[in-house]
Chain A
Amino acid sequence: MSTLLTSDQGPAAGAAGGTARTGRPKGRTGTRGSLRVAALYLLPAVALIAIYLAYPVVYSIGRSLFDRSGATFVGLHNYAELFTDPRTQVALRNNVIWVLVAPALVTGLGLIFAVLTEKIRWATAFRLVLFMPMAISLFASGIIFRLVYQEDPSLGLANAAAVTVHDAFLEPSKYPGARARDARALVADHGNLTTTANYGRGDVVRLPLVGLSPQKLPRQAAPAQDLRPDPRDLRGVVWLDVAAGGGPPGTLGGGKRGMPGVTVQALRDGHVTATTTTGDDGSFAFPDLSPGTYTIRLPASNFAQPFRGLTWLGPALVTPVIISAWVWITTGFAMTFIGAGLSAIPRDALEAARVDGATEWQVFRRVTVPLLSPVLLVVFVTLVINVLKVFELVFVIAPGSAQADANVLALQLWQVAFGAGGGDQAMGSALAVVLFLLVVPAMLFNIRRFRRERR
């Protein structure tokens, strides 16, 4: 696998061969002799390419046409199976997302940073910082980002920040996670708890709740007491039906305490007609109700679970998160390359534009970018090749439950070919060939550019 993945070393090796050729000594004995010398010089490079590139590629292609055991020729069967496998389809889809989003984003950011850092003082220091992530191994970077995006706000930096900001604007609920003791008497709907029975003046509504530790009650919470009915109002009590050694479920007494500060609504025909709040012992009353029947509702705001941030590493967000990690790592690389291209731009072109009255934006848009476009293209294409091979980040950042959703071809290849218990190297080879074919156009493009530039 790795030989195929690194086969974009090709141009470099080819260039080495070129050097050998141009190093031909002058005036040796005739053409045949010089051919022999040329062959001698070429031999090491050719041998290395043959051993480390050509042979593995040919072997992988051959292997992909046989079955798992390598004994039976199956033609293109592995490829047919590969493209009907939903996991490969997801991997392909993700690779497409990566190629569409990541290289363009990084090239754009690299351009912006390169242009900006050219204009500021301490530019080198700034560039150094931006380039730093390139010095960290992909594996370690993956671990960093896995920690940053942990779901638990006490572990993950991203969610810790999200929760802090969220709670600064929206106060968390008083009794997160509390629920009805009897889910049939007090029905939960979108987090609201509503009584199934109807009540009117002179009734007492008893609402036992559970799912909360008694230690989480506010200090002023007083023991809840049963109320006497009063014909003038509709009253009730909300209490935490949990106590150490407390009486049977659903009953008052035994040290069970009321839940202060719970919002209680009286509903008639689905409309809120009155709202009140429980006292320290959990009691509440609606004194001014007009006669009729009401249902009692404890709105969801009392019990909403605390905001815990986003599930960054869940199926929906995991790919964007991993792309963000990759962007963090590679932007420095793009910036350095583009920065080098930038310093090669003739200054007088920029100056001329400025003298002609162009704004900085116009200079950037009409002069800098067009002059830089060859560099930008090379950077972009190199990143595309890089992105197609992305493996470590997905492997490290995606938790097991989301790995299928974050899957990319290189990871799928590794899992299929070398996963636990041996693996299927025929299918793995087929995947390697597909990945290779996807990289080839970008590679050819780069090679052709190199050639044109040399001319």
Chain B
Amino acid sequence: MSRKFGAVAVAGAVTLGLSVFGLTGCGGASGSGGNGELAGQTIEVTGPWSGDEQKAFQKVLAVFEKQTGAKVNYTAAGDEEPTVLQSKVQGGAPPNIAILAQPGAIAQFAREGVLKPVTADVEQQVDAHMAKAWKNFGTVDGKLYGVYFKAANKSIVWYNDRLLTQAGYQPPATWDDFVKTVNSLSDTGVAPLAVAGADGWTLTDWFENVYLQTAGGEAYDKLAKHQIPWTDPSVKHALQVLQQVFQPKLVADGNAGALQTDFSSSVTKVFSDAPKAAMVFEADFVGQVIASNTKAKVGDDARFFPFPAIGKPAGKPSGSVVTGGDAAVAFKDDKATMALMKFLASPEAGVEWARSGGFLSPNKDMPLDSYTDDLTRAIAKQMLGADDIRFDMSDQAPAEFGATKGAGEWKDLQDFLGNPADVDGTAQRLEADAAKAYHT
């Protein structure tokens, strides 16, 4: 799960009145005093996952322990993992492997020289089982450091089946259909879209999905590196496209109400017993929120369609997917560490987690029937079959621009949602904030 979902999980816990801050240290997976080739070796792994996700990941590690006889200790570091790792590195005791959701943090650690590039056989494993894009995401300055293990598909629109198909609408395939559908839904008095404007990251995902299609992958990569300014006409055009649906009559409770709606509320607005909106855009992990916060059944009451294709020939799917993901990086290059890296890149690594649910593998050779339901399989297929796949742009940006509450891109897009007419002003504010954060 991406860091963003981690944040959501924390927010969820907060509403229950539980504070889950601090580190949740935890011992290793099942004690498997094996006699494999790595018997007696101990591997320390740090990751962002806690709770159910931690349990699922430990099942994955247990498979490795059984195969090799090594012992793996997993420590959950939560949302502040980069800070935790930084202090561990400074203290001279980094873990063998860390699972990181922030490409920016991977690049930073790699350039500081504290990460070890993976060995040739790990790289071969990655080449054999993953699309080139995923390898690129883990590559810094020409060397492969990050092995992606868990992915998020962020090009998904979830809908309430009763309000959409049972009311006589087809899930729209193209943007034009999408705009038409939301408008006629609005005419019938149903709010078409729930937008989680209180959480800036959902708005960056909206923008990224539109921009990847309207401007293309090349421009997307340039904008992610701030090689083109945010005042570029391509950015303004994407904002104008977004403006077509960021309209008070199309957004549940209006744009101002959306700014008070956090991510999990935006999901319950669509799937609660008295739904207030028909559709909500976000990633595959919306499914878990539906399952835990509402009575709606995923795959039945709650379904999805891929983010609509913009400006593509009719009948052709968009083929563009915005993803996020968690990568394993190595701080040491001993045999056991690299063996675990290689295992995480293998098709069988994700199987255990896929069976537990809440998991999407970037590995194209992991059997699709490892997923327990058709919906997750379809989401995985959409992602693996995409020919234009890009990593979440705001996650690639410096955190003060792409990942800070009340600042940078999050704040600027929230202001845009509040006043969608102001395309030029939004572009200017984005550029001013980006210039500051990228130090250009």
Residues of A within 8 A of B (CB): 87, 137, 139-140, 143, 147, 150-152, 177, 179, 181, 210-214, 216, 241-242, 244-245, 249, 308, 311, 313-314, 396, 398-405, 407, 415-416, 418-424
Contacts and interface: CB of A to CB of B under 8 A. Distances in A.
Contacts of A416: 400
30 contacts: A87-B407, A137-B19, A139-B19, A151-B253, A151-B257, A211-B189, A213-B188, A214-B188, A214-B189, A216-B189, A242-B188, A245-B168, A249-B187, A308-B253, A313-B260, A400-B198, A400-B410, A401-B200, A401-B259, A402-B406, A403-B405, A404-B405, A416-B400, A419-B403, A419-B404, A420-B3, A420-B404, A421-B105, A421-B398, A423-B83
B190 interface: yes
Contacts of B79: 420
B82 interface: yes
Given A179-B249, A311-B260, A400-B262, A421 B405 contact: no
B15 interface: yes
Given A179-B249, A211-B249, A400-B406, A419 B399 contact: yes
Nearest to A419: B404
A241 B184 CA distance: 11
A423 B19 CA distance: 23
Contact of A400 (B15, B398, B405): B405
B105 to A, nearest CB: 6
B108 A422 contact: yes
Contacts of B83: 418, 422-423
Contact of B198 (A396, A401, A404, A422): A401
A151 B269 CA distance: 14
A305 to B, nearest CB: 8
Contacts of A140: 17, 19
B86 A422 contact: yes
B187 A210 contact: yes
A399 B198 contact: yes
B160 to A, nearest CB: 14
B411 A143 contact: no
B80 interface: yes
Interface string B86-103: 100000000000000010
B364 to A, nearest CB: 29
B14 interface: yes
Contacts of A213: 188-190
B114 interface: no
B104 interface: yes
Contact of A404 (B199, B249, B399, B407): B407
A400 B199 contact: yes
Contacts of A212: 188-189
Nearest to B103: A421
Given A177-B189, A420-B3, A311 B104 contact: no
A322 B65 CA distance: 50
Contacts of B257: 151-152, 308
B260 A401 contact: yes
B228 to A, nearest CB: 22
Contacts of B260: 150-152, 311, 313-314, 399, 401
B399 A420 contact: yes
A242 B189 contact: yes
A87 B406 CA distance: 9
Interface of A is mostly: loop
A242 B187 contact: yes
Contacts of B30: none
Given A210-B188, A314-B256, A420-B404, A401 B104 contact: no
A421 B82 contact: yes
Nearest to B260: A151
Contact of A143 (B14, B105, B168): B14
B186 interface: yes
A70 B328 CA distance: 28
Contacts of A313: 260
Contact of B262 (A399, A404, A405, A423): A399
A425 to B, nearest CB: 10
B420 interface: no
Nearest to B187: A210
A209 to B, nearest CB: 10
Interface in B230-288: 249, 253, 256-257, 259-260, 262
Nearest to A396: B14
Contacts of A139: 19
B406 A404 contact: yes
Nearest to B82: A422
A242 B104 CA distance: 50
Closest 5 A-B residue pairs measured CB to CB?
A421-B399, A404-B406, A213-B189, A403-B406, A210-B187
Interface in B1-28: 3, 14-15, 17, 19
B171 interface: no
A422 B197 contact: no
A404 B411 contact: yes
Contacts of B407: 87, 404, 415
Interface in B407-439: 407, 410-411, 414, 418
Contacts of A398: 406
Contacts of B190: 213
Find the residue from B14, B104, B189, B259 having the highest chain A CB count within 10 A.
B189
B17 A143 contact: yes
A214 B406 CA distance: 40
B401 to A, nearest CB: 10
Contacts of A421: 82, 102, 104-105, 398-399, 403
Contacts of A314: 256, 259-260
A223 B86 CA distance: 70
A402 B60 CA distance: 40
B14 to A, nearest CB: 6
A325 B262 CA distance: 21
A137 B19 CA distance: 10
Interface in B60-95: 79-80, 82-83, 86
A96 to B, nearest CB: 19
Nearest to A215: B189
A418 B199 CA distance: 19
A195 B404 CA distance: 48
Contact of B186 (A137, A211, A404, A424): A211
A2 to B, nearest CB: 13
Contacts of A400: 198-200, 262, 405-406, 410, 414
Interface in B138-195: 168, 186-190
A59 B17 CA distance: 36
Nearest to B417: A401
B105 A407 contact: no
A181 B189 CA distance: 12
A159 to B, nearest CB: 11
A118 B3 CA distance: 53
Contacts of B256: 311, 314
A422 B262 CA distance: 24
Find the residue from B83, B86, B105, B188 having the highest chain A CB count within 10 A.
B188
Interface string B333-350: 000000000000000000
A212 B256 CA distance: 20
Contacts of A418: 80, 83
Contacts of A402: 259, 406
A177 B186 CA distance: 10
Nearest to B199: A400
Given A139-B19, A211-B186, A399-B198, 16 more contacts: A143-B15, A150-B260, A152-B253, A152-B260, A210-B188, A213-B190, A244-B168, A311-B256, A400-B410, A404-B411, A415-B404, A415-B406, A421-B102, A422-B86, A422-B399, A423-B83
